[in-house]
A and B are shown apart, each in its own frame.
Chain A
Amino acid sequence: MVNFEITAFRRKLIQFFTAILYNVWLPGFVNGKIYNGPLKGVCVPGLNCYSCPGALGSCPIGSLQDGLSFLRFRIPFYVIGTLTLFGIVFGRVVCGFLCPFGLIQEILYKIPSPKIKKSKYTRALSYLKYVILAVFVILLPIFLRRMSSAFCIYLCPVGILEGTFFLLPTNPYLAELLGSYFVIKLSILIIVILASIIHIRPFCRYICPLGAIYALFAKWSFLGVKIDTDKCNNCNKCIRICSFDIKKVGDSECIQCCECVKQCPKEAISFGIKY
């Protein structure tokens, strides 16, 4: 069992440099053209928009939808395999460490304001992301080929932030094309930004279909937080102080932020290779 000492600072550092690494193609920002080279065939683990002019890789959710929209011709082994690999190795460690949009929400949460804590309502709402995954990412692309990227087209606020905002200054003609889809997604973005100030990571908990996929792997992932049952005395302090709707540390709602690691009075929680 290998453990890693993850402080809040180290996790922020990894998140920050991950965000840079995913979007490091500076010529894209300058020219306003999306990078289209060989690396674009690789999916990054987090939800990072393909259309960000700096993005070196592809969004796994965008790729999954595109793959599923051609399901009658071929099975998208590459995307499914990549997501399975990320899920099994990292689970929701991707959410806690390797997702730029998660980082943005966490930074927004640091703005001083009254905060809304978790409750049975937030727990119930956390199932919404599975519905979004099933309907917009899986069913609509398979059965309505015209909506091959239904999540990207109708819902994804990350695309507005990373794609539209950075492409518009250098591609002013795009402004004429913005219609109702843009208005809907911009509204979702504004709501998510405002909600992130008063409630921690609302997009990740209630909307993100990628988080929903990784949540399915969370219990079995290679990396993550784990409890040493010999040391644990079931005081449940970890569940009480956790900002997210977990029933147990490291479950499908655990974002792997490692806050509980330092709070456990018995030092029974650690982050590392679970097997």
Chain B
Amino acid sequence: MSFKSFKKNKLKKIIILSFLFISLSLICLTSLSGCIDSPTEESTEVKEGSAAPDFTFSLLDKSDAKLSDYEGRIVLLNFWGLGCPPCIMELPAFETLQREFPDDLTVLAINCQDPVVALEYFKEKSNPTFTIGYVDSKNCPYPIQSIPYTVIIDKEGNISLIQIGAGSAEVMYNNIYKPAIVSLLEKEKK
């Protein structure tokens, strides 16, 4: 082996080793910080039957509200985004539900990804009866990585139904949301 090719091989080895070292350090650092950071997701598990985690969100009049403010009413808590086609597709179902059950139900459509000015424009154009709010996904205890994410909460604050994803407004209204709300109201009467 000539001296030149020996030097070349050595250089190759040094480069490979340094890249390996940098990559491994990065991997270790990111893994460690993943353990030390407090989880951004729910600390209490979100599941049907258990209490719905409380959280604070903002309304379009810039005031803040909490989920627990609505205790005593059935809450349909929906997380959505303007750029999410199924989210937009099912919104008419929420409008219908809010008008149909004005005294027992509050529909909270909480946006978790769009600028407020876009939401204000949306509200102006569509003028919904249901409540629009927004929250930073970091401050949200619900697993809103995949939207639409909908939770129906009974008057005592317990989760009655979790629905991930959506079809057409008609399908969602007829097959999922209305039956769930009607059954909660009927249980109340008993």
A124 to B177, CA, bound (A): 51
- Given A27-B31, A34-B145, A171-B146, 4 more A-B residue pairs with CB atoms under 8 Å apart are A17-B23, A26-B31, A36-B138, A73-B118
Among A20, A27, A176, which residue has its beta carbon within 8 angstroms of that of B23? A20
A254 to B: closest C-beta gap in Å: 25
Is B115 in contact with A66, judged by CB distance below 8 angstroms? no
Residues of B within 8 A of A56 (CB): 30
A148 to B147, CA, bound (A): 15
Is A33 in contact with B35, judged by CB distance below 8 angstroms? no
Closest to A152 in B: B83
Residues of A within 8 A of B145 (CB): 33-34, 171
Is A73 in contact with B30, judged by CB distance below 8 angstroms? no
Closest to B122 in A: A145
A111-126 residues with Cβ-Cβ distance < 8 A to B are none
Is B83 in contact with A145, judged by CB distance below 8 angstroms? yes
Interface string of A65-102 (1 = CB under 8 A from B): 01001101110000000000000000000000000000
B interface majority secondary structure: helix
A148 to B84, CA, bound (A): 8
Closest to A174 in B: B146
Is A176 in contact with B165, judged by CB distance below 8 angstroms? yes
Is A148 in contact with B164, judged by CB distance below 8 angstroms? no
A side interface size, CB within 8 A:
30
15 contacts between A and B (CB under 8 A): A13-B16, A20-B23, A25-B30, A26-B30, A27-B30, A27-B31, A27-B34, A36-B40, A66-B83, A73-B115, A73-B121, A146-B85, A176-B164, A176-B165, A177-B164
A11-61 residues with Cβ-Cβ distance < 8 A to B are 13, 17, 20-21, 24-27, 33-34, 36-37, 56
Residues of A within 8 A of B56 (CB): none
Closest to A145 in B: B82
Closest to B12 in A: A9
Q: Is A252 close to B, CB under 8 A? A: no
Q: Is A173 close to B, CB under 8 A? A: yes
B side interface size, CB within 8 A:
28
Is A21 in contact with B23, judged by CB distance below 8 angstroms? yes
Closest to B15 in A: A13
Q: Is A212 close to B, CB under 8 A? A: no
- Which chain A residues have a beta carbon within 8 Å of chain B's beta carbons? 13, 17, 20-21, 24-27, 33-34, 36-37, 56, 66, 69-70, 72-74, 145-149, 153, 171, 173-174, 176-177
B185 to A: closest C-beta gap in Å: 27
Is B88 in contact with A146, judged by CB distance below 8 angstroms? yes
Is B34 in contact with A25, judged by CB distance below 8 angstroms? yes
Is B118 in contact with A70, judged by CB distance below 8 angstroms? yes
Is A148 in contact with B16, judged by CB distance below 8 angstroms? no
Is A36 in contact with B27, judged by CB distance below 8 angstroms? no
Closest to B116 in A: A73
A53 to B: closest C-beta gap in Å: 10
Residues of A within 8 A of B23 (CB): 17, 20-21, 24
Known: A146-B88, A148-B83. A26 touches B27 (CB 8 A): yes
A20 to B26, CA, bound (A): 10
Is B138 in contact with A69, judged by CB distance below 8 angstroms? no
Is B137 in contact with A36, judged by CB distance below 8 angstroms? yes
Residues of A within 8 A of B16 (CB): 13
Known: A149-B83, A153-B85. A13 touches B34 (CB 8 A): no
Closest to A69 in B: B83
B92-121 residues with Cβ-Cβ distance < 8 A to A are 114-115, 117-118, 121
Known: A20-B23, A26-B27. A70 touches B146 (CB 8 A): no
A30 to B146, CA, bound (A): 17
Q: Is B71 close to A, CB under 8 A? A: no
Closest to A17 in B: B19
